[in-house]
A and B are shown apart, each in its own frame.
Chain A
Amino acid sequence: MTYLQNIGTYFMMIGEMFRKPTRWSVMKTLILKDIDDLIVSSLGIIAFISFFVGGVITIQTALNIDNPLIPKYLIGFATRQSVILEFAPTFTSIIMAGKVGSFITSSIGTMRVTEQIDALEVMGINSLNYLVFPKTIALTLYPFAIAIGMFLGILGGMVACSIGGYATVDDYILGIQTDFDSFHVFYAFVKTFVFAMVLATVPAYYGYYMKGGALEVGKASTSSFVWTSVVIILLNYILTDMMLS
């Protein structure tokens, strides 16, 4: 029953977010600030993780190919498919649920605890529009960050392949070009966009509707990470089933 109530409140929050919009002159500043806080400040960690995980995927693929009849270019092929289809959109989004999600929940939750949200409401400002809408718009740029992650993941694989001597760079490049299907990239970006909306709204829900003090802000951040991850995993399954099967 509580789950159903939470789901209902979540969708009502989404609806409320679009009512009584904040002045564009103010909203513009909020969106730019959130792009900086949520996207630009995440690029470093996305780049770092993507590069090294791409390398690990390459090494593990190479080490598992012990049949001499299997061509070496399959290392590049497997790395590309893993990075584009699953690692960059889903795995990175789970990490972002920890980084971006916790930031959103704790910042909005702290505003709730310190009556800053009440202050907005007393002034007649739609606090959901003021706080959550700019984050949602900022995270529409999240697919660009994931595109960088895809590129660096494949590049990391190539560097690992070259340093470890698992295959030649030419073989690797041949592998990443083999049977390329642009629909897979489209599928990955559709997933990424949906995950971006989840990353903006689920943590915001946990922050906005939290009650209590500092301890509850911490608990809300933890719940936010858990449920954002669960929703991402479930949507990943549903979208994959809908678009690829």
Chain B
Amino acid sequence: MIEVKNLHKSFNGIEVLKGITTSFEKGKTNLIIGQSGSGKTVFLKCLLGLFNYEEGSIAYEGRIFSQLSEDQKRNLRAEIGMVFQGSALFDSLTIAQNVMFPLKMFTKMSQSEMEDRADLVLKRVNLPDAHKKMPSEASGGMQKRVAIARAIVNKPKYLFCDEPNSGLDPKTAIVIDNLIQEITEEYQITTVINSHDMNSVMEIGEKIVFLKDGLKAWEGSKETIFRTDNESVTNFVYSSNLFKKVRKMYIEENE
């Protein structure tokens, strides 16, 4: 579980996060949504320890990140898996080497043990034959799956995904969403996803945090988001006619 209390973050005197308090639960897919410029990426980078914040706290199972020593921070980071928007695979390494990278850096596994583990996770993300390919030879969807494999190879406790569906076709996007949800349940990890994709919100949003102007404007789940009368949320989520109709149908069916 990750608990965030009163998080403030500014850049050059401009406050981007204005006191966010929320929590992300273990074994669940937690989504952060909001318009561009609402502070989602800054919030995610604060959670990852890439940005320092001025006020507030982030606690990973009670361990407050800002109070940890450098060694403790390094150990905590070894428990984190991250899927970047552009996958961020290392260009100079093959897909198998990319997946084995965290094992090489943080474990004392032998080469054959690492290869076995990489084999296992690549099969888990449905890429059993991609080991020797370079990232540039893989499609966008394949790269995302390799990034997921790399993120989970060291059995992380926390999985962060920044726009995991961006640039993917709707079918592949659903495959990636389902894969993340399955892995979250299977490994019982705390997953936090930064997303713009309303399909993801409706499909896998077990907990949803909606940010607006650096503040938490609403939080709930994929079930409650249909019924909310929070104007900021409805303006954002149901901005298209299609989603307005989906919402109407959902409410009618469940009445």
Chain A residues proximal to chain B, CB less than 8 Å: 20, 22-23, 25-26, 33, 110-111, 114-116, 118-119, 121-125
Contacts and interface: CB of A to CB of B under 8 A. Distances in A.
Contacts of A22: 105
21 contacts: A23-B104, A25-B104, A26-B105, A33-B92, A110-B91, A114-B86, A114-B91, A115-B85, A115-B88, A118-B84, A118-B88, A122-B48, A122-B49, A122-B77, A122-B82, A123-B77, A123-B80, A123-B82, A123-B105, A124-B73, A124-B77
The 4 closest A-B pairs by CB, nearest first: A124-B77, A115-B88, A119-B88, A124-B74
Contacts of B75: 124
B187 interface: no
Contacts of B92: 33
A12 B78 CA distance: 25
Given A122-B50, A123-B77, 18 more contacts: A20-B74, A23-B104, A23-B105, A111-B91, A114-B91, A116-B91, A118-B84, A119-B84, A119-B88, A119-B90, A121-B50, A122-B82, A123-B78, A123-B80, A123-B82, A124-B73, A124-B74, A124-B76
Most buried by A among B75, B76, B104: B104
B-side interface size class: 20 to 34
A115 B44 CA distance: 14
A118 B147 CA distance: 13
B140 interface: no
Contacts of A20: 70, 74
A94 B117 CA distance: 46
B102 interface: yes
Interface of B: 48-50, 70, 73-78, 80, 82, 84-86, 88-92, 101-102, 104-106, 160
Main secondary structure of the interface of A (DSSP, over half): helix
Most buried by B among A22, A23, A111, A115: A115
B44 to A, nearest CB: 10
Contacts of A110: 91
Contacts of A111: 91
B104 A26 contact: yes
B105 A114 contact: no
Nearest to B83: A119
A122 B102 CA distance: 11
Given A20-B74, A116-B91, A118-B50, A125 B86 contact: no
Contacts of B90: 116, 119
A182 to B, nearest CB: 41
A119 B91 contact: no
Nearest to B104: A26
Contacts of B49: 122
Nearest to B76: A124
Contacts of A116: 88-91
Most buried by A among B74, B89, B90, B105: B105
A23 B92 CA distance: 18
Contacts of B80: 122-123
A115 B194 CA distance: 16
A23 B49 CA distance: 22
Given A122-B50, A123-B78, A115 B105 contact: no
A134 B75 CA distance: 24
Given A20-B74, A118-B50, A119-B82, A125 B105 contact: yes
Contacts of B91: 110-111, 114, 116
Nearest to B89: A116
B191 to A, nearest CB: 15
A198 to B, nearest CB: 24
A23 B75 CA distance: 15
A54 to B, nearest CB: 36
A122 to B, nearest CB: 5
Contacts of B160: 122
B84 A115 contact: yes
B50 A124 contact: no
A193 to B, nearest CB: 27
A61 to B, nearest CB: 45
Nearest to B102: A123
Contacts of A119: 82, 84, 88, 90
Contacts of B85: 115
B23 to A, nearest CB: 21
A42 to B, nearest CB: 18
